[in-house]
Amino acid sequence: MAPFCSPALLQALLDVEVALADAQAQVGMIPRDCAADIRAAARAEFFDAATLAEAAKTDGNIVIPLIGVLTKQVAARNPDAARHVHRGATSQDILDTAIVLQLRVARNDIERELTAAMTAAAAFARKYAATPIAGRTWLQHGSPTTFGLKAAGWLDLIGRSRARFDLAIEQALVLQLGGATGTLASMGADGGAVADAMARALKLTVPPMPWHTQRDRLVSVAASVGVICGALGKVGRDLTLLAQSEVMEAIDTLPGGRSSSMPHKQNPVHAVTAIAAATRAPGLVATMLSAMPQEHERAAGGWQAEWQTLADLIDITKESSVAIATALANLRVHPVAMKRNLALNGGIAMAEALSTALTPHIGRREAMQHVEKLSRSAQRDGRSLRDVASTDAELLKWLPAADIDRALAPENFIGSAETFVANVLRAWAM
């Protein structure tokens, strides 16, 4: 049950206790030298995380045993100061605020990786804006698109997901300080001033009221990293599909991902890490949502369910961000394979292109029907669509051979791909 089970969390918890004491000293609630003694004792290396985690199981949360040990450590320096540890606060004040501090740190890590992934995607988008690749719908060839547009799709998706995450974090950077039942009654008239001073020190906002059982801010952060994981999972899925032995259009070349039994393999470990994260995130986000209906002024189960869940979500989002940034940074793109694959199955991926060229002459439905006939004949006889089309007397009545040729060249049927790529690059200033 230890949340963010790490020295970093321990220090964050202690930082919050220190900020509380300092703020209370500032408003004259406790002596300044006592606050200094609390600060001196509040260093994570003086505490044993495993012991605290174990004690948390019977005490109900990790803050309760932490305060016990902290109070002893402070008392060893100054018995007077020990009386002022954790004055008027409740353990949830400390833990929630520490989690908020941790989220702020995580934001930097995650956004850095997402930006790296976006930069790599942007480079592909620009370079391959007009490079045809089979458009694939339902995992089958449709009309061509471009590899640049595919990469622009990744970029746009990651960009929006990062922006939402950033906003969700920003809205969650609020102090938690309410005391036992959220009124700060234990601080008498000083509650507001203590909260202001504490928030200033921690660079957090003071919310209109404590939020012990109003969990929407944290849950919205969770949802936003869930969306990031889903977005990176989409990129990862595309990468695994492109790297298939039968496709081989783009390969993550970073050493790693070797098979323990097959000498020739190089597994797409990074892409798969992102897919695994995208598989895990939805259940974890669901848990955060499920935990929202928390009872009265302090939850009986819901709050406690959040700790490990949110920590896991942040962790896998980091892992996934690193993985996709790495995969894109090491991606080798094979335009030749893209061209080769477009020609598979007699090149019938170009059927829509041909029917589009034909539509002005005989109308949409007739054009589709005629081209469908040509496509089926090509497939039946194992000939290419080009071959069948360029020898079809009827078709030649409407379209001269040169027009048929032009229609069947993938690079001539990429529509607004380059415009879309430019739009996306501009949107993210890349």
d(C-alpha 189, C-alpha 195), whole Å: 12
Annotated catalytic residue 261: no
Burial 268-307 (b: 16+ CB within 10 A, else e): bebbbbbbbbbebbeebbebbeebeebeeebbeebbbbbb
Footprint of a second copy on 64-123 (CB under 8 A): 64, 67, 71, 82-84, 86-91
Footprint of a second copy on 152-181 (CB under 8 A): 152-153, 156-157, 160-161, 164, 171, 179-181
DSSP state of 290: H
Footprint of a second copy on 349-378 (CB under 8 A): 349, 351-353, 355-356, 363-366, 368-369, 371-372, 375-376
Which of residues 134, 250, 325, 395 is near a second copy by CB under 8 A?
A: 134
d(C-alpha 164, C-alpha 221), whole Å: 9
d(C-alpha 251, C-alpha 238), whole Å: 11
Q: Is the dihedral of CA 397, 403, 405, 409 positive or negative?
A: negative
Closest listed residue to residue 242, CA positions, set 320, 338, 146: 338
Number of residues that bind a second copy (CB under 8 A): 170
- Angle, CA of 385, 390 and 395, to the nearest 5°: 100
Whether 268 contacts 230, CB under 8 Å = no
Whether 412 contacts 406, CB under 8 Å = yes
- Angle, CA of 310, 104 and 205, to the nearest 5°: 110
d(C-alpha 255, C-alpha 268), whole Å: 10
Residue 336 interacts with a second copy (CB under 8 A): yes or no: no
Which of residues 76, 209, 336, 401 is near a second copy by CB under 8 A?
A: 209
Residue span binding a second copy (CB under 8 A) among the ranges 15-23, 108-116, 257-265, 396-404: 257-265
Residue span binding a second copy (CB under 8 A) among the ranges 16-24, 101-109, 197-205, 414-422: 414-422
d(C-alpha 410, C-alpha 347), whole Å: 10
Which of residues 45, 50, 203, 260 is near a second copy by CB under 8 A?
A: 260
d(C-alpha 72, C-alpha 86), whole Å: 13
Which listed residue (43, 160, 200, 298) is catalytic? 298
Residue 196 interacts with a second copy (CB under 8 A): yes or no: no
Which of residues 12, 141, 331, 399 is near a second copy by CB under 8 A?
A: 141
Which of residues 137, 203, 402, 429 is near a second copy by CB under 8 A?
A: 137
DSSP state of 257: -
CB of 217 to a second copy, least distance (A): 7
CB of 96 to a second copy, least distance (A): 13
Nearer to a second copy, 145 or 321 (CB): 145
Footprint of a second copy on 22-61 (CB under 8 A): 57-60
Residue 420 interacts with a second copy (CB under 8 A): yes or no: yes
Residue 124 interacts with a second copy (CB under 8 A): yes or no: no
CB of 176 to a second copy, least distance (A): 13
Annotated catalytic residue 83: no
CB of 33 to a second copy, least distance (A): 15
Catalytic residue ranges: 259, 298
